Amino acid sequence: MKSVWKGYLGFGLVNIPVSLYTATEQNKINFHLLHKDDNERIRYNRVCSECGKKVQWDDIVKGLEVGKDEYYVLTKEEINEMKPEGDELIEIHEFVNRREIEPIYLTKHYYIGPISGAERPYFLLKGTIGSKDKVAIATFVMREKKYLCMIQDYKKGLLLSLLHYADEIRDIENVPNIDFDPPKLKENEIELADQLIEKLSNTQLNIQKYKDTYTENLKEAIKQKSKGELISKRKKKTEKTEDLIASLKASVEK
């Protein structure tokens, strides 16, 4: 596994040499846009909206919109001066209880691995936060961007999860139809819902049984089409529940 970042994990005055490794990957099919007449790739050009001419990279600058059709242009030097310094340090600022981190803040995940010779302080930190059921809140710079992150004990090592900053989270109050008076539920509705949840409950999650059937179906369809076979896959139509009690009963009895 190839590391994507190398530096130090700062634990007080203790700096632990570590590397970051991407913990997840996406198994997806990437479609290309083609011209339907000859199946040739569609290419995109950088064209000026004013003069209509194609623009070379050397003639492109970056600007911030400060008003309608009004921009403040920044030079490469000015942008570079504002970029955070890559000091090669994942700096731990505080420790909090794991339940303090709401799921909405979590984004991408990385494994933290110790560099040879740093095993002792690495496993000291891992064991300590694991025994106290706490997570570390830290910041670090990667690819000229400063990230907020959470570090937790995970299996044989440490897991670093990137966090959204507070101002990146949208307020749920802005969701349409979210501000409503909770309806008074009937006793049999609650009872049937409880029965359905109990029926679908497991003591342990086996995530291996869940597959990306869309990607699998696409791969199979491509195989079929390459052999000249007809592609046919019927989809069930999802319909709105009209009778809540009847649907709950049918679900429980299924």
The bridge status of strand 134-142 relative to strand 89-97 is antiparallel
**Can you say how many angstroms the Cα of residue 37 is from the centroid of all Cα atoms in its chain?**
37
Mean pLDDT (whole number) for 50-55: 89
**CB neighbours of residue 138 within 10 Å:** 21
Mean pLDDT (whole number) for 171-190: 91
Quick one: pLDDT at residue 168? 95
Please report the beta strands in the chain, taking only residues with DSSP state E, as ranges in sequence order.
5-11, 14-22, 62-67, 70-74, 89-97, 106-114, 134-142, 145-154, 157-163
pLDDT: which is higher, 220 or 65 = 65
Give the domain extent around 188: 184-204+243-254
pLDDT bin (cut points 50, 70, 90) of residue 161 is very high
Per-residue model confidence as pLDDT tens digits over 14-30? 999 999 999 998 877 78
Per-residue model confidence as pLDDT tens digits over 80-122? 777 777 679 999 999 999 999 999 999 999 999 999 999 999 9
Q: Are 233 and 222 in contact (CB under 8 A)?
A: no
Count of positions (residues) in the chain: 254
Residue 51 maps to a domain: no
Query: Crossing angle, helix 187-199 and helix 244-253, to 10 degrees?
Result: 30
* Nearest-angstrom CA–CA distance, 49 and 52: 6
Q: Are 136 and 129 in contact (CB under 8 A)?
A: yes
Q: Are 113 and 200 members of one domain?
A: no
Q: Which CATH number goes with the domain that contains 161?
A: 2.40.290.10
Per-residue model confidence as pLDDT tens digits over 211-248? 777 777 777 777 776 777 766 666 677 788 888 889 88
Task: Specify the pTM.
Answer: 0.80
Residue 253 maps to a domain: yes
Question: Dihedrals φ, ψ of 166, to 5°?
Answer: -55, -40
Residue 152 maps to a domain: yes
Radius of gyration, CA atoms only, the chain:
26
Mean pLDDT (whole number) for 65-93: 83
* Nearest-angstrom CA–CA distance, 200 and 67: 54
